[in-house]
């Protein structure tokens, strides 16, 4: 859901001039997380991101045997969502919803480290 709707919002914003901007796209991601927590939080602890699953597993708040199933499923879902976005918008460039800095690489590194 995060990849499909979140990155889909980025693509739609760029393709159709929806004027979502960074705030609107951030709201899409935030609302997605809220909906997923309410929908599956009681079942899985809302592990909708492999990084969260790895962190919980490393800190021993989540069983390793469960993580061995969750992480591949989460990655497969992300790849399937990216593939579906590619199928829906085949004319989009290979970056397909990526956040690309509008300044040089060096400037972006300085901005990020501040």
Higher pLDDT: 106 or 76? It is 76
pLDDT in tens, 18-73: 778 888 989 999 999 999 889 988 877 778 889 989 999 999 988 999 999 999 99
Q: What is the pLDDT of residue 18?
A: 72
pTM to 2 decimal places: 0.74
Cβ count near 27 (within 10 Å): 13
Higher pLDDT: 109 or 72? It is 72
Q: What is the pLDDT of residue 77?
A: 94
Q: Which CATH class is domain 2-92?
A: mainly alpha
Mean pLDDT of 85-94: 81
Cβ burial of 9 (10 Å; 0-12, 13-18, 19+) is buried
Whether the per-residue pLDDT at 79 is higher than 90: the answer is yes
SS3 assignment for 21-64: HHHHHHHHHHHHHHHHHHHHHHHHCCCCCHHHHHHHHHCCCCCH
Q: What is the pLDDT of residue 54?
A: 93
Can you state the percent helix, strand and coil of the chain, rounding each to 5?
Answer: 70, 0, 30
Structure-token pair, residue 64: 């390793």
Rounded Cα gap, residues 104 and 98, in angstroms: 16
Q: What is the pLDDT of residue 90?
A: 84
- Domain extents for the chain? 2-92
């Amino acid at each position: 859901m995060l990849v499909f709707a979140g990155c889909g919002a980025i693509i739609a914003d760029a393709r159709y001039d929806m004027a979502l901007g960074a705030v609107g796209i951030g709201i899409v991601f935030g609302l997605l997380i809220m909906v997923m927590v309410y929908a599956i939080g009681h079942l899985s602890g809302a592990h909708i991101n492999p990084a969260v699953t790895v962190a919980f597993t490393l800190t021993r708040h989540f069983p390793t045997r469960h993580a061995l199933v969750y992480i591949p499923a989460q990655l497969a879902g992300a790849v399937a969502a990216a593939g579906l976005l590619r199928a829906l918008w085949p004319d989009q460039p290979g970056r397909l919803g990526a956040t690309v800095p509008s300044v040089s690489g060096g400037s972006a590194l300085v901005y990020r480290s501040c």
